[in-house]
Amino acid sequence: MINQKGLYDKKFESDACGIGCIASIDGIKNNQIISDSLTMLENMSHRGATGNNKKIGDGAGIKTQIPHKLLLNELSKKDIRLPSPGDYGLGMFFFPNNTKDYNKSIKLLEETFKKFNFKILYKRDVPTNDKDLCPSTLNFIPKIEQWIIVHKHYIKNEDNLDRRLYVARKYYENLIIVNSSLARSVYIPSLSSNTVVYKGQLTTHQIRNFYPDLSNELFESCFSIVHSRFSTNTFPSWKLAQPFRFISHNGEINTLQGNLNSLKSAESRFESKFFTNEELNIIRPVTSSDQSDSASLDNLIELLSFSDMDIDEVMMMLIPEAWDNDDTMSKSKKSFYEFKSSIIEPWDGPAAIIYTNGKSIGSILDRNGLRPMRYTITEDNKIILASETGVIDIDPSQIKEKGNLRSGKILSIDFKRNKVRFDDEIKNTICNKEPYDNWLKKNRITTDMLPRKKSKFKKINDFDLDIFHKVFGYSKEDIEKVIYPMTENSSEPIGSMGNDTPLAVLSKKPKHISNYFKQLFAQVTNPPIDPIRERGVMSLNTHLGNISNLLSQKDTDCQNILLESPILDDENIEKIRSIDVFNLQSKTINAYYKVDKKEGNLKKALNRLCRYVDDAIDDGYEFIIISDRFLDSSHAPIPSLLSCACIHNHLIRTGRRGMVGLVIESGDVWEVHHYATLLSFGANAVNPYLAFATIKNLRESNSSPNIKKLKTLKRNYIDAINKGLLKVFSKIGISTLKSYQGSQLFEIIGINKNTVDQYFTSTTSRIEGLDIDDIERENNKKHFHAYKEDPTDLSVGGLLSWKKEGEKHAFNPETISLLQHSTIKNDYNLFKQYSSKVNHLNKTSIRSKFDFNFINDSIPLSEVESSKNIYRRFATGAMSFGSISHEAHSNLAIAMNRLGGRSNSGEGGEDEARFKIKKNGDNLSSAIKQIASGRFGVTINYLNNAKEIQIKMAQGAKPGEGGQLPGHKVDDWIARVRNSTPGVGLISPPPHHDIYSIEDLSQLIFDLKNANRDAEISVKLVSKSGVGTIAAGVAKAKSDKILISGYDGGTGASPISSIQHAGLPWELGLSETQQTLMKNGLRSRVKLQVDGQIKTGRDLAIASILGADEWGISTAALISQGCIMMRKCHLNTCPVGIATQDKTLRKRFNGEVDHMITLIHFLTEELREIMASLGIRKVDDLIGNTKLLKPRKNQYWKTKNLDLNPILFSHLDKPKNYYNSSKQKDYLSGQLDYILLDKVKDTLENPSIKTNISIKIRNTDRAVGTILSSEISKRFGSNTINDDSINIDFCGSAGQSFGAFGSKGLTLKIEGDSNDYFGKGLSGAKLIIKPPKKSRFIANENIIIGNVALYGATSGSCFINGKAGERFCVRNSGVDVVVEGVGDNACEYMTGGTALILGNIGKNFGAGMSGGIAYIYGNKNLNNFNKSSIDLVDIDKEDIKKIKILLLSHKKYTGSLLASFIMDDIKNQKNNFTKVYPKELRRVKEKNKIQING
Amino acid sequence: MVKPGFIKYKKKNPSLTKIDKRLKNYSEFQSLLSDKDLRNQSDRCMDCGTPFCHSSCPLGNMIPEFNSAVSDNNWKEAYEILVSTNNFPEFTGRICPAPCEHSCVLGINQDPVSIENIEKQVIEKAFLKGYVKPIKKRKSSNKKIAVVGSGPAGLACADELNKNGYQVTVYEKDEKVGGLLRFGIPDFKLEKKVIDRRIKILEEEGINFLTEMCLGKNISIERLDSEYDAVILCIGSTIPKDIIIEGRDLSGIHFAMDFLTMQNKINSKLKTDININAKDKNVVVLGGGDTGSDCIGTSNRQGAKSVLQLELMPRPPLERDESMMWPLFSSTLKTTSSHEEGCDRKWGVMAKEFVGNSRIEFVKTVDISWDKDKKSFYPIKNSEQLIPCDLLLIAIGYDKPNLFFDDQYSIEMSPNGTILANEKNYLTSRKKFFSCGDSRRGQSLVVWAIKEGRDCAQSVHKYLKKKQLT
């Protein structure tokens, strides 16, 4: 590609999409289906994206049956006889559009067909029409041809014909892969006897005209599958468009690297009766490296399908529903999943897939249900499946059934039997095909079944313990502050105030090798998961043993050891060491190297290790234990991560990884991150013997009478690690350990490419660093400390809290007090002392390794842009009122408002009293209002008091995780602002439940723009590899600003492993973003902001040079207000009154607005001085001007090989394209609300006048009612207008976000149905929805609104005459709602309001629900409730009263038959209600009652 | 929420014996807090993420850690943490001016944690419970080391080297070991049995103490050089600063240290040639520091008629001002227990002349004004006063080490008279000779002396190891 020098890598690209399908269940072919499906595609155009040019789409396509009639017609004109359907193959080809390559590719293809005994019957130029296309893209259009081929020996079986075509295609693909120019430009969308794919890098609107075939009446098909793509890239890539040959995928495969590795490991064992060995050699490798995740999945499905596996079974195997924790699942199904889990791990991630092999069409959803899939079945036996409802017009009277696909469920249209088969039917058939249960009973081994151990494990005595601790690099802190708390509390310790210690590669202390690895996390393109509240979908099960032949199954495939956790205690590892059943044996190999003056011993040892492992495999061992127990004064242990990854990748390369289970027995594993890295780089199980010995020693040296039993302490420790691991997987959106294993989901900072390629193959590492000899040298230091030096103590550590002898911290006693003294005394000289100390100490960060490059003459300071002009570029970070005190929070706001900068509300809402300007002119309103996953206090009024609305996708302290405000911090005030109950703890979910993908984020941006058209929308991302690509997507989604946060900033409380190990420094993320946006021509239309440990003017200058228009300051701001880096913010005990709500402590707050202003002033002055010295007059001229920096040369052995040039890479472009110089285009002009606004003018002027309107609506009308609400809020603020002042009756299918942030006074009624995010953020409006009068289906049996309805709703009411999709009422904090059935995860994290549910509920009801009440009608499956946060109680009189009122309204507004029935028979029916009572609410209420009564 | 200790408990000081009672003898008069009270006091520690106390302690004492151990009732652990950075907590726990407490984070807006007293009680508890035991180690090295001077620096250095397996001999010019600790600090602040207790342990651990051996008098540099592999000079900075004004040669004018040493020797029943008695006298102490304060306490115990302390600098403020913002050491007005026992204090006063016939009768003083910016002072006109004075004690600090040896032995001195030794490795200009403590650093705190003694020991260790290799 163009810029190998920069940080962008095309492997970061990802996409998300709209998919859909129309099929005639009866198999009736026509062109109408195609035409309708194209309309459907056009109506989902908002789910796709365009680049900087509206005419350049990200990709769209359609898959149908082969248009036999059309071909027949064409061939008959040429007098060529076309065989019957199924007897010939149709290939769709993209060829190079230059003659030379074209001829070459044609020739090779012809040869291929010849080789496989195919005859080319006819070549057809596919007619195309490029008049709608952007001229600049015309050069990239491939030459598109269709070839009709027949086999020389007439193959009767259509499967067999396809199989042969498959082999021929693979052969051809292998031929062109070796030819680099062809590899990029030749592509085969389809080659099949029954289906064909038309696609391209087109917009959804272009495809119909581009391929005139599609509009030809002769083009007939009984089904049509469409796909529109929203990609983060904009480069020409025709082949990335979908559908693929088997699937259309809306989603993301989070575990791709692991899946590909394990597929590669399995390939060597392929055997099949459907393919000869020669053919299998052609088929291998199954996937190629230069394609998308979806394409790889497609490859695998294709192969398994051709191996005669039922396609539905294939899908169930690759995308299993959550089964391990489901007690309600049938035995046969559970056994099926369990059996299959030992054959292949899930391809995990959010997914809605429509798949077909031409004979049936199916659709499946991932276990979390993270993508929508709605279906409608019509009276004329057509089925419409799509990401949205209402995508084509259907007469309501023609609708037989409406529904949605639920998490982990499957449905299929069987053209042979002409019926739709649903989940139960499909799965029952498949799961009972074989006696999986018996197979498991016979072959599966659990640790309980293992024979007794033969050898006694070695105990480590106290003296050895000290040596071991030093050799493996333990510090006192590790023992006392990391391990000890885990044994006590069963959870990882919490820290706060970010991380100001050096990156591992910059530290002069010997580091654990895992510290060079930064955890990746989900952001925008897929959601992180809540591993606590959604534990049901998570699994820590794993298998130890080899993988069998993927292409055919037998009962012994599950002959391996099942582990419930990857952590083996000392007992179990000895059992495994001694195992001898089913001919399974294990081999222990010692991992050490000789320590002497020579280099290269480690490298030799790793080679030796691989040889030993190879020998062990040759000798038939099934389990390999890599142990580092044996060490002495001249032999050091190989870091376990290195030996593990080395062996893992060696075996993948040799195709033998699948033959053994890899167990790591190591002393250098004690904290969550160590386990995560090991598992992610291939370990199947881990025995942390030294951690256990340490716990034993802790137990023995603790004289406290309360000390728990050793067994308990060990169990607690394992629990803590298990929980921590779940958190690590869930933050990247992975649910199961099996999928996480081998996934390599880390970015490395500071290890060079050669070493990474060799040992950590395919992992991202972008700035070079240590080589294998340097790793040896670092490891030797620890060994030396243990053996060669005089007995000295263990090192103190000093990562979690500053220590004199410990790790460096940029904020230490000296710099903290200098900063405070300088701002209090307004003493710039003191500030310069501070900044020179910080910059000097700042050897902690990448930026400390840059020097300014003085290429210009310096200029006088007076010529530099004035400070006043620069202040607007400052923001403070998002710290919520709740996490910090009112005093601290409002001081920051006043200071920033005085300066013209922007303070940030944080995610806790804001007291409306602050929206009014004070008499002295001070403004306490935060200019930036944040909207985070908890949506606390996010009302239409809140949004309309913002200058900037910031969507927090992640935060530096804990990217990919949710937050929690403990109950003791929620006082009356906080509770009022957050619409919750005092004393009740509040949870923010890890994901925004309305953002599971880039197109969802685009939707939220759209919603917020509607909610406040004057505000800028910004999106906060945390630096990670690929953040630039995400930022490009965000820019395309029309965000005005993108904030790149460093991993090290962030003041929030978080598990210590997240603070230290998740995310990347902003230097990498920011410059990657700058480079990627430049590359895509998107840079100038967005502002880039950066934050994360920005402390000095030098930091500001470097940030801007790397691309930042603006900077965020948080920690330094707090320090100016008295913060002394206590790092205990989560305890509510801040002694200086900042991070606390305690009244006594708040009085101790001593911060002053002026000190903050002085800080910003000093920072600006320092920046200006730097600019003057660089000869730069304006900040704009600094932005992206990377010539002004150069990497510093240094000789320190650890850093001398760093290569920072990729960070400084810059695209050549016009200067004004380097910074923000234009605005996003307005795209609200077509909103339905403008028509409505016109009609409600009178009411807006005089609220006593009521308005009634009727109007049509369709799925492309999104966020209807939001602009209207914004106008109401702007005029009337929180004293809004009366209920029902404006009544609007809609008819049709409403688009996403109907009634979002709907204001009080609005009553919006739909006759029809509605899509996802119905009533999102409702702020007082009344929403009513019911089926059309003409419809014939039973209302309460059909889905009427989509997923994630009423998310973050704060007030109002809602009446839904039908069922809702998944995640209903998540984070509802005040809406009263009636609905007739809900999907999974309803009322999750709810904190207020009432949900009356007159029908079935899905799984995991009420998880994390801490307030509000739900009433459920009917006999319910108790397993569907998540009882960890709720109690189920009988209703009392008060409840009946409330239920009756709601039922009456429901009946009145919707005419619900069910409501009538219950009301009419309330005496009996009341017994059918169950009340869901949140435990927290109950506790607080009962406590209050006692207080009142007592 | 469980209220944390720093909100729940106020600072509690140990009680002191009543003044009239304590003036009757020279014993220590501070009681110990009950275990429970002490635990509560430790509980006030907030275990800061950035422990400023630990930062400002020259020894880097692990203060949050031992506080946490005390609050967990884990005295042994507390003791172990304490001695991991500090050889003699029983000394610092009594007489350290506690920079740690000055920078305690709780001190920003509340009374700081009483770190010093906790330290003292932890070590006393450790002695009581028998945790402090001589650890006899086999000598792993045949290298011999001489430490000259047995003050806090010498003792710490000797202790560390001894623990490292060297054969250590300590030379002390006086008849008993301890240096300034023994002879400079009054018993009511540090009873000498506390020192004896420690010396006994050090002796049992194998350190050889030779008293009445004065370098330059009865032992020579050359001898040390020839007999030892390394020599560490920690001879303190004992030559007092003088005030040369008219009447300085009158009798009844003494250096504080002579006065204090005399009383200490009397208390220890040691021979002394000096006889300074404050009984029924009007005592004037020049100098407002801790030594001055010790003179007041001693004078009152001897039965002085009146005691007046004169200080050059203006009266310090009651609260921190801009010149001493937290976490800097705060020099606010400090009233010591000796002050409480009875004395007058004057600030901004300079002695201009000592008046009398052969014996001092008056001190003529003049008020001065202090110019903060120029850091200099000016006498105020017409402010002269005659103050009756029968005994005048000069306590205005120390100048430099007392070199009994001749510096012709190629040990270089710094311009201000201290022994010149490298700041990092403590090596002097003479091969294998090191120096640490006040003799290198100039007058300072006990805690700094211990710190230098420890660091110097490390450096000596490295030096000897390197030598062994080559």
The DSSP H or E segment spanning A1482 is helix A1479-1493
Find out whether A537 and A368 touch, Cβ atoms under 8 Å: yes
- Contact call for A802 and B51, based on CB within 8 A: yes
List CB contacts (< 8 A) between B1 and chain A. 968, 1132, 1142
Closest by alpha carbon to A887, among A1156, A1151, A1144? A1151
d(C-alpha A455, C-alpha A475), whole Å: 31
Query: Of A703, A819, A1123, A1132, which to mutate for an interface test with B (greatest number of B Cβ within 10 Å)?
Result: A703
Q: Residue A627 pLDDT > 90, yes or no?
A: yes
Asked if omega into A285 is within 30° of 0 (cis), the reply is: yes
What are A193-233's pLDDT values in tens digits?
999 999 998 989 999 999 999 999 999 999 999 998 877 65
B109 to chain A, any CB pair closer than 8 A? The answer is yes
Whether the per-residue pLDDT at A2 is higher than 50: the answer is: no
Those residues with Cβ within 8 angstroms of residue A1249's Cβ, 6 or more apart along the chain or in another chain: A1242, A1243
Within a 13 Å sphere around the CA of A465, how many CA atoms are in the beta-carbon half?
16
pLDDT grade for A254, boundaries at 50, 70 and 90:
confident
Q: Which two tokens stand for residue B306?
A: 């009146």
- The per-residue pLDDT of chain A, averaged, comes to 93
User: Does B106 reach chain A within 8 Å, measured CB to CB?
Assistant: yes
For residue A1145, pLDDT beyond 90: yes
Shortest distance, CA A1027 to any CA of chain B (angstroms) = 31
Q: Model confidence at A1039, in pLDDT bands (50, 70, 90)?
A: very high
How high is the pLDDT of residue A154? Answer: 74
Q: What is the structure's pLDDT at A235?
A: 60
Contact by Cβ (8 Å): A186, A107: no
Q: HSE on the CB side for A179, CA within 13 Å? A: 16
What is the Rg, in whole angstroms, of the alpha carbon atoms belonging to chain B? 23
Mean pLDDT of A294-304: 94
Tokens in use for B411?
Answer: 């040990």
CA distance A790 to chain B (A): 8
A678 Cβ contact partners less than 8 Å away, ≥ 6 residues apart: A640, A641, A644, A664, A666, A669, A686
Backbone phi, psi, residue B13, to 5°: -95, 150
Chain B residue closest in CA terms to A825: B322
Residue A4, chain B, CB below 8 Å: the answer is no
User: Which of A1133, A1138, A1141, A1150 is the mutation pick for testing B, counting most B CBs within 10 A?
Assistant: A1133
Q: Dihedrals φ, ψ of A240, to 5°?
A: -75, -15
pLDDT tops 80 at residue A568: yes
Question: Could you count the other beta carbons within 10 Å of the beta carbon of residue A100?
Answer: 9
SS3 of A377, please? strand
Q: Closest partner residue to B48 among A701, A703, A1124, by Cβ?
A: A1124
* Burial (CB count <10 Å: 0-12, 13-18, 19+), residue B322: exposed
In tens, the pLDDT along A653-678 reads 998 999 999 999 999 999 999 999 99
Check pLDDT > 70 for residue A16.
Answer: no
SS3 A13: coil
pLDDT digits 0-9 by tens, A358-379:
999 999 999 988 899 999 999 9
In this prediction, residues A1215-1226 reach a mean pLDDT of 91
Name which of A640, A634, A626, A641 is nearest A786 in CA terms: A634
Q: What is the count of residue pairs from A and B with beta carbons less than 8 Å apart?
A: 98
Give CA–CA dist A484/A470, Å, rounded.
18
Q: Which residue of B has its CA nearest to A1127?
A: B49
CA angle (A262, A265, A266) in 5-degree steps: 90
Residue labelled with tokens 């002069």: A508
With CA atoms as reference, report the closest residue to A844 among A1099, A1062, A1091, A1071: A1099
Q: Given CB atoms, is B51 within the 8 Å cutoff of chain A?
A: yes
DSSP state of A736: B
User: How large is the angle between the packed helices A886-899 and A1153-1174, nearest 10 degrees?
Assistant: 40
ipTM rounded to 2 decimals: 0.94
Report which of residues A999 and A1444 the model is more confident about.
A1444
Phi, psi of A1128, rounded to the nearest 5 degrees: -130, 35
**Whether A968 contacts chain B with CB within 8 A:** yes
In this prediction, residue A882 carries a pLDDT of: 86
Q: Answer yes or no: is pLDDT of B407 > 80.
A: no
Cβ-based neighbours of A1213, under 8 Å, separated by 6 or more: A1078
pLDDT digits (tens, 9 = 90+) for A1157-1173: 999 999 999 999 999 99
HEC string for A812-827: CHHHHHHHHHHHHHCC
Question: Does a cis peptide bond (omega within 30 degrees of 0) precede residue A396?
Answer: no
Of B6, B49, B73, the CB nearest to A1127: B49
**Whole-angstrom distance, CA of residue A1251 vs CA of residue A1248:** 10
Q: What is the pLDDT of residue A453?
A: 77
Rg, chain A, Cα only:
32
- What is the pLDDT, as a whole number, of residue A595? 94
Q: Which of A1088, A881, A1061 is nearest to A986 (CA)?
A: A881
The span from the CA of A1464 to the CA of B397, in Å, is 99
Q: Is the distance from CB of A822 to CB of A828 less than 8 angstroms?
A: yes
Of A404, A426, A424, A420, which is closest to residue A24 (Cα–Cα)? A420
Q: What is the layout of strands, in order, in the sheet containing A561-563?
A: A445-446, A561-563, A542-544
Cβ contacts of residue A35 below 8 Å, gap of 6+? A214, A215
Arithmetic mean of pLDDT, A1365-1382: 96
Instruction: Please say if the pLDDT value at position A395 is more than 80.
Output: yes
What's the pLDDT tens digit per position in A810-849? 999 999 999 999 999 999 999 999 999 999 876 789 999 9
Q: Cα separation of B185 and B298, whole Å? A: 10
Strand partners, A363: A354, A411
Distance CA B234, CA B152 (A): 9
- pLDDT tens for A1073-1107 read 999 999 888 999 999 999 999 999 999 999 999 99
Task: Establish whether A17 is a catalytic residue.
Answer: yes
**B43, B46, B50: best to mutate for the A interface, most A CBs within 10 A:** B50
Residues of A in contact with B105 (CB under 8 A): 1124, 1126, 1135
**Interface subset of B 285-314, CB within 8 angstroms of A:** none
Cα–Cα distance, A1386 to A1370 (Å, whole number) = 6
**Rounded CA gap, B138 and A1372, in Å?**
72
> Chain A 562-581, CB below 8 Å of chain B: which residues?
none
DSSP B314: P
Query: Is A762 an interface residue toward B (CB < 8 Å)?
Result: no
Smallest Cα–Cα separation from A89: which of A149, A174, A163, A159? A149
Here the contacts of B411-414 (C-beta below 8 Å, separation 24 or greater) are B411/B221, B411/B233
Locate all alpha helices (DSSP H) within A809-916, ordered by sequence: 813-825, 828-841, 867-871, 886-899
The nearest CA of chain B is from the CA of A702 a distance in Å of 8
Give the span between the Cα atoms of A1143 and A1145, in whole angstroms. Answer: 5
C-beta neighbour count of A26 within 10 angstroms: 12
The model's pTM is 0.94
In this prediction, residues A1043-1054 reach a mean pLDDT of: 85
Q: Which of B48, B60, B106 sits opposite A805 (nearest CB)?
A: B60
Confidence of residue A3 (pLDDT cuts 50, 70, 90): very low
Q: What is the dihedral of CA A805, A811, A812, A815, to 10 degrees?
A: 130
Quick check: helix, strand or coil at residue A763? coil
Q: What is the pLDDT of residue A1211?
A: 84
- Is A503 buried (19+), middle (13-18) or exposed (0-12) by CB count in 10 A? buried
**Beta-carbon count within 10 A of A2 CB:** 9
CB contact residues (below 8 A), chain A span 1122-1151, against chain B? 1122, 1124-1128, 1131-1133, 1135-1136, 1142, 1144-1145, 1148, 1150
- The residues, any chain, with a CB within 8 Å of residue A1375's CB and separated by 6 or more, are A1319, A1322, A1350, A1353, A1354, A1355, A1356, A1357, A1358, A1369, A1393
pLDDT band for position A455 (cuts 50, 70, 90) = confident
Residue pLDDT, tens place only, B239-265: 999 999 999 999 999 999 999 999 999
Structure tokens of A117?
């005994």
**In this predicted structure, what is the pLDDT of residue A803?**
95
User: What DSSP string describes A575-644?
Assistant: HHHT-EETTEEEEEEE-EEE-SS-S-HHHHHHHHHHHHHHHHHHTT-SEEEEE----BTTEEEPPHHHHH
Residue B413's DSSP bridge partners are: B419
Q: CA nearest A1390: which of A1435, A1354, A1432?
A: A1354
* Mean pLDDT across A1227-1253: 94
Closest CA to A703 of B72, B187, B133, B271: B72
Secondary element (H or E) of residue A751? strand A746-751
The tokens describing A1267, both together, are 């602009």
At residue A883, the pLDDT reads 87
Under 8 Å CB-to-CB from A563, ≥6 apart: which residues?
A: A447, A541, A542, A543, A544, A685
| pLDDT for position A442 | 93
The structure tokens listed for A217 are 């009446």
| Residue A915: both structure tokens together | 């929206």
Q: What is the pLDDT of residues A520-558, one digit of tens each?
A: 999 998 899 999 898 888 999 999 988 788 998 899 999
B positions 371-410 inside 8 Å of A (CB): none
Q: Per the CB < 8 Å rule, is A1131 touching B4?
A: yes
